[in-house]
């Protein structure tokens, strides 16, 4: 768990951390759309500058972003190889035997790489600065208008928050079951196919049994405390938009407008 950085919350004290999750989610969506505008290198330069500024204000480190980016590198190399063989437009750069590399293959890959980097930067700005619970509250509020077309906004949010609450418990449980089965001679690393299958079964079945038990207990506890899905309830945590949240939204909207102008009206 320790080395996964993508999507992890980093508890720091920064203006970005304090912002309303709804503003952050909306701003992220706006900027994501902006990234997909064919605005050229100037456009990407502007988005990169804006994202970097946000990262600095959020007091996140660039190595953290780099770590989140790392798992994508393999994909990019793969993409470059495919592009090199398929894209035969632009200027020929060099030739080895019967193979010629064209400039568009390089540019196309770079384009995608830059977009990916920008997306990682922007989403990390959101996930690293927003508590999981606040994130679900934000999603719930943003989905509310869609309740009219029967999107169960509250249920979705409750589902996500309970999943988040129990993930650490389930990880502990998994570790415990692995150890218990290892004590019974299960070897998860070696063995013949049949033995491997049994080894995996010996983990999955108990994990399911305990997850169901947990779910039943939890359902009882929630019901006993008056929870009934679909019924009216009040909410303890109330989100409130402040000046800085509007500034963020305005900034994100301006960025998108700029990209649209760069892409289509210049």
Partner 1 sequence: MSIIEVKDLTFSYDDTKTTIDHISFAIEEGTYTTIVGHNGSGKSTVAKLLAGLLEKKSGSIMIDGLELNLENLSKIRNRIGIVFQNPDNQFIGSTVRDDIAFGLENHCVPQPEMDGIIEVNAERVHMTKYLDHEPSRLSGGQKQRVAIAGVLAMKPKILIFDEATSMLDPSGKDEIKRVIRNIHKESSLTILSITHDIDEVADSDHVIALEKGRIAMQGTPHEVFSEVEALRKIKLDVPFSLKMQQKLAKRGVQVGKHITMEGLVRELCQSHSNM
Partner 2 sequence: MPISFEHVGYVYSKGTPYEYQALKDVCLDIEEGKITAVIGQTGSGKSTLVQHLNALLLPESGEIHILDRVIKAGDKPKHLKALRKEVGLVFQFPEYQLFEETVLKDVAFGPKNFGASEEEAKKRAKQALKLVGLSEEYYERSPLELSGGQKRRVAIAGILAMDPSILVLDEPTAGLDPQGTEAMMKLFYELNHTYGKTVLIVTHDMEQVFRYCDRVIVMEDGGVRIHTDKDTFFSDPEACRKMNILPPVLIRMKELLKANGFEVADDIITEDALADCIARQVKKHG
95 binds, among partner 1, partner 2, none (CB under 5 to 8 A by kind): none
Question: Do 136 and 169 touch, CB atoms closer than 8 A?
Answer: no
Residue 185 CB, shortest distance to partner 2, in Å, is: 3
As measured in angstroms, the least distance from the Cβ of 213 to partner 2 is 8
List the single partner that 116 binds among partner 1, partner 2, none, CB under 5 to 8 Å by kind.
none
Residues 6+ apart with CB under 8 A from 31: 47, 50, 51, 122, 252, 255, 256
Report, in angstroms and rounded to the nearest whole number, the Rg of the chain calculated over CA atoms: 24
The distance of closest approach from Cβ of residue 20 to partner 2 in the complex, given in angstroms and rounded to an integer, is 28
Q: Which of 245, 29, 189 is nearest to 122 (CA)?
A: 29
Whole-number Å distance between alpha carbons of 98 and 223: 71
Contact 179, 158 (CB under 8 A): no
Residues that bind partner 1 (CB under 8 A): 131-133, 161-162, 164-165, 168-169, 213-214, 217-218, 220-228, 231-238
Whichever of 86 and 224 has its CB closer to partner 1, that residue is 224
How many CA atoms are closer than 13 Å to the CA of 190, on its beta-carbon side?
1
Footprint of partner 2 on this chain (CB under 8 A)? 2, 173, 176-177, 179-187, 195, 198, 201-202, 204-206, 209-210
Q: Which does 236 bind (CB under 5 to 8 A by kind): partner 2, partner 1, none?
A: partner 1
């Amino acid at each position: 768990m320790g080395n996964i950085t993508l999507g992890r919350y980093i508890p720091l004290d920064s203006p970005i951390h304090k912002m309303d999750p709804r503003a952050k989610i909306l701003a992220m969506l706006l900027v994501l759309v902006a990234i997909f505008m064919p605005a050229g290198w100037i456009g990407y330069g502007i988005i990169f500058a804006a994202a970097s500024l946000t990262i600095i204000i959020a007091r996140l480190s660039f190595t953290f972003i780099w770590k989140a980016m790392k798992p994508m590198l393999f994909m990019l190399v793969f993409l470059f190889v495919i592009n090199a063989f398929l894209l035969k437009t632009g200027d020929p750069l060099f030739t080895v035997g019967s193979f010629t590399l064209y400039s568009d293959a390089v540019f196309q890959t770079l384009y995608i790489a830059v977009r990916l980097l920008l997306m990682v930067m922007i989403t990390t700005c959101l996930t690293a600065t927003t508590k999981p619970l606040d994130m679900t509250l934000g999603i719930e509020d943003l989905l509310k208008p869609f309740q009219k077309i029967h999107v169960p906004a509250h249920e979705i949010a409750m589902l996500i928050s309970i999943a988040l609450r129990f993930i650490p418990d389930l990880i502990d449980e998994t570790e415990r079951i692995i150890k218990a089965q290892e004590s019974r001679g299960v070897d998860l690393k070696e063995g013949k196919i049949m033995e491997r299958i049994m080894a995996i079964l010996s983990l999955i079945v108990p994990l399911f049994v305990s997850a169901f038990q947990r779910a039943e207990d939890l359902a009882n506890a929630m019901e006993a405390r008056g929870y009934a899905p679909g019924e009216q309830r009040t909410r303890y945590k109330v989100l409130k938009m402040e000046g800085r949240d509007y500034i963020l939204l305005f900034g994100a909207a301006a960025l998108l407008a700029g990209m649209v102008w760069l892409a289509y009206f210049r």
